[in-house]
Amino acid sequence: MGAPARVTGFPPVAAGEDDPKGKSRTQGRQSRTPHFLHSVMTGREIADEARSPSINVLLRTRDLRWNWLGNILRMDERRTVRQVLLNCAKPTQESILGDLNGKDVNTAISLARDRIEWKS
């Protein structure tokens, strides 16, 4: 029998050395970092974005969750995703219903119907 096959599928490459696809390994990793992604979105240098991020990820995530919750609450009552959310999910701090901050679900549904009020 021969030597066992490599599990990783990648030949050993020194840092900064080019791989067969033409990119260095560090460039490949760098393109997946949040600082790189934010620099692409904002047009700023990666180092500047790493030093002082221009996007508050937590606030952005909270806004996206709030918008998504409003979309679900505005859905037709027969939609499965709405039924699962309202009938199965418990309003814990970690769940999306926890974003209601103690508001009643029925109040939130009527509030979500008015998109301008919901976004404010």
**DSSP letters spanning 29-47:** HHTTSHHHHHHHHH---HH
Q: C-alpha distances in angstroms, 53 versus 35, 82, 115?
A: 8, 35, 30
Tally the residues of the chain: 120
Instruction: Indicate the DSSP class of residue 18.
Output: B
Q: What is the pLDDT along the chain (120 residues), one digit of tens a residue?
A: 555 444 444 445 454 445 555 555 555 555 566 667 777 777 778 777 777 777 777 888 888 889 999 999 999 999 999 999 888 877 777 778 888 887 888 888 999 999 888 887
Q: Domain extents for the chain?
A: 23-55, 57-119
Instruction: Indicate the DSSP class of residue 120.
Output: -
